Amino acid sequence: MQNDLVIRNGTLVDGTGAQRFSGDLAVKDGLITQVGGVAGPGHREIDADGAIVAPGWVDIHTHYDGQVTWDADMAPSSLHGATTIVMGNCGVGFAPARPDERDFLIELMEAVEDIPGTALHEGIDWQWESFGEYLDALEAMPRTLDVGAQVPHAALRAYVSGQAAHEDDLDAGQLERMGELVGQAIREGALGFSTSRTILHASRHGLIPGTTALPNELLAVAQGMSKAGESVFQMISDGIMHQEEEKAWVREIAQMGGLTVTYSMAQDPSRPHAFRAALDEAAQFQADGKKVIPQVPARPTGMLFGLQSSLHPFALHPSLRPLRRATLAEKMATLRDPAFRQRLLAEKPDSKHGVAQLLVTNWEQIFRLGDDCDYEPPKDRSIAACAQREGRTPEAVALDWLMEREGAAFLFSPLGSYVEFNHDAIRSMIEHPASAVGLSDGGAHCGLICDASFPTYLLTHWVNGRSRGERLPLELVVHKQTQATADVYGLGDRGSLEVGKCADINVIDLDGLQLHVPEMIFDLPAGGPRLMQPVDGYLHTIKSGRVTFEQGEATGERPGGIVRGRR
């Protein structure tokens, strides 16, 4: 029997955490049929001598809920080796949705995830009301990768309670209806339910629906999920690592049959060691047979301040407001005028945006992002340190750095997990046995954050490039972004190179794998902007046995679709 595809002479890193080994990998009918040894002939053969052969990345924290309706290639995640993504995180999304709720849900997504509302309005072709109808609509489009979806709390609340979506307490009938709808969605293929408990997620209406929902509501939803079958309760929260009340209902949900609880974790500057106890607590849950899985970052979630970004140190200055919609060339021409520069540096920003202004003037935590894409810069390379050395104001240094590369330069500002100005805390999170890697936010924060490259960074930094501390083993980081993430959502048919599993594979030139400086492109519907981070080194990305990307270029093959339920 001839194989459809044979990858020969590769270094196989199978995703289980086991030691790498050499050999061939064979594929037939979209499934892996041989791992190791010498395979028989294939209809197509790839010589992987000198390359790493690993499972396709399973990225479980993305926000492609709108983009998925118009984009078959699912960049940027697909460009960075993802073959399966999970969306609908953090309580925002687009189903279920009545026709009169669509604008409201777009407003929430734009506010929380920085996805241009104009792009969502133009790009989404609403062909659904229920969650099952949403999955049906998505399934009509072949894709380069597989997509799994979750029921977002904000959309569910709006569907059940209408104008009362922002109120804390819903009545018993509404809670029962929410549980029923979530259960129905799980049976129709939803992978889980998501909610946000952070004050960082707000729109012009206030905190997004569900943020302050009472525990009885969350338990009612979880009960509906548990009755329907195995699924995931995903959350992002300010209190999960230290608030006992929140820990209590998380424990109760974790005790329900068939449920996994997963949440995003970072090092909180106000409680820099709390993550360690939370990881150990999750490990104890797992030892007791309950699935509570923290999702940890590959690097600090970092804002990229640039002249084309949604935010930068001068975005709130009155002098720049008239240039908000100007081209980059027009902005640069104005900034080169000495009189304008003097006026800009002398004036104060609009005081109405206090939190934003604090973010963009935290000079000790803002760095130049150079061609080396150093996301672990030392403290003495901050704007504050540079300004002190040169006897200049931080504003003057920031403006000069923003104007580099003809205005296309970026400043990097880590939001969390950078308390000690190094990645040691993140290393502890990644190597902890209870964690999986998440929070790439692929498809979101289009004008400010570009973290869909997280899977690549695990290799370029943690395996190959880190110079300011210990690195991590290749086998571990591959496991954390493949089998570990697949297991969170019960996707047991992928995430490792094993006979009988989906032939989702990356063939990688590990020595040549390189991240380049992010760039702003304008290819969303209505010309909307988004940050993209180019990469070299992915020789082949394979989905279900078909090569979808070769040397970073899409081949036109689209074997991906919608993942419904556990595998």
pLDDT tens-digit readout, 460-500? 999 999 999 999 999 999 999 999 999 999 999 999 999 99
Instruction: Note whether 345 and 444 are same-domain residues.
Output: no
The structure tokens listed for 347 are: 């004036």
pLDDT score, position 351: 66
What local confidence, expressed as pLDDT, does residue 566 receive? 84
Residue 565 sits at φ, ψ, to 5 deg, of: 70, 180
Whether 94 and 173 share a structural domain: yes
535 within domain boundaries:
yes
Q: What is the mean pLDDT of residues 274-288?
A: 93
Residue at which a domain ends, from 494, 519, 536: 494
Are 71 and 134 within 8 A, CB to CB? Answer: no
The predicted model gives 10-26 an average pLDDT of: 98
Whether 121 is in a domain gets the answer: yes
- Strands 535-536 and 514-515, bridge-based pairing: antiparallel
pLDDT of residue 371: 94
Q: What is the pLDDT of residue 192?
A: 98
Same domain, 50 and 74: no
Contact 90, 196 (CB under 8 A): yes
Instruction: Assess if residue 200 is contained within a domain.
Output: yes
Residue type (1 letter), 508: I
What sign does the CA torsion over 483, 488, 494, 498 have?
A: positive
Of the chain, the percentage scoring pLDDT greater than 90 comes to 88
Whether the pLDDT of residue 398 is over 90: the answer is: yes
Report the amino acid identity of residue 520. Answer: M
Same domain? 123 vs 252: yes
**Same-domain status, 47 and 164:** no
Q: Are 19 and 114 members of one domain?
A: no
Q: Is 566 left (phi over 0), alpha (psi -120 to 50) or beta?
A: beta
Distance between CA 548 and CA 161 in Å, rounded?
43
What share of the chain in percent tops pLDDT 70? Answer: 99
Nearest to 439 by CA among 422, 423, 420, 453: 453
pLDDT at residue 279, as a whole number: 95
Q: Quickly state the pLDDT bin for 510 (edges 50, 70, 90).
A: very high
pLDDT band (50, 70, 90) for residue 179:
very high
Are residues 282 and 422 located together in one domain of the fold? Answer: yes
Residues 538 and 552 sit within 8 Å (Cβ to Cβ): yes
**Which are the contacts of 54, defined by CB distance < 8 A and separation ≥ 6?**
12, 13, 14, 15, 478, 482, 497, 505, 506, 508
For 219, the domain range is 57-301+418-494
Q: Is the dihedral of CA 165, 171, 173, 178 positive or negative?
A: positive
What is the reported pLDDT for 242?
66
Question: Which pLDDT tens digit goes with each residue over 74-121?
Answer: 999 999 999 999 999 999 999 999 999 999 999 999 999 889 999 999
E strands along 159-205, which residues? 192-197, 202-203
d(CA 234, CA 371): 36
Same domain, 242 and 96: yes
Residues 515, 468 share a domain = no
Going by pLDDT thresholds of 50, 70 and 90, the confidence category of residue 204 is confident
Look at residue 563 and tell me if it is in a domain.
no
In a domain, 501, yes or no: no
Q: How many domains does the chain have?
A: 3
Q: Please list, in sequence order, all residues whose beta carbon lies within 8 angstroms of the beta carbon of residue 294, skipping any fewer than 6 positions away.
A: 262, 263, 264, 265, 278, 279, 282, 429, 434, 435, 436
Indicate whether 443 pLDDT > 90: yes
Last residue of a domain, one of 372, 390, 414: 414
* pLDDT tens string 350-387: 767 667 788 899 999 999 999 999 999 999 999 999 99
What CATH number does residue 111 fall under? Answer: 3.20.20.140
If you average pLDDT over every residue of the chain, what do you get? 95
> What integer pLDDT is reported at residue 100 of this predicted model?
94
Whether residue 26 has pLDDT greater than 90: yes
Residue 567: which pLDDT band, with cuts at 50, 70 and 90?
confident
> Cα–Cα distance between 203 and 436 in angstroms, integer?
30
Kind of pairing between the strands at 367-369 and 410-414? antiparallel
| Whether residue 440 has pLDDT greater than 80 | yes
Nearest to 310 by CA among 520, 76, 523, 534: 520
In this structure, what CATH number is given to the domain that contains residue 42? 2.30.40.10
In a domain? residue 564: no
Whether residues 237 and 281 fall in one domain? yes
Question: What torsion, rounded to 10 degrees, do the Cα atoms 218, 219, 225, 226 define?
Answer: 160
| Residue 388 resides in a domain | yes
Report pLDDT for 237: 87
Among 414, 429, 452, where does a domain finish? Answer: 414
Q: How far from chain centre, in Å, is Cα 264?
A: 10
Quickly state the pLDDT bin for 245 (edges 50, 70, 90).
Answer: confident
Residues 150 and 240 reside in one and the same domain: yes
- Report yes or no on 308 lying in a domain: yes
Q: What is the mean pLDDT of residues 555-566?
A: 96
- Asked whether residue 278 falls in the same domain as residue 347, the answer is no
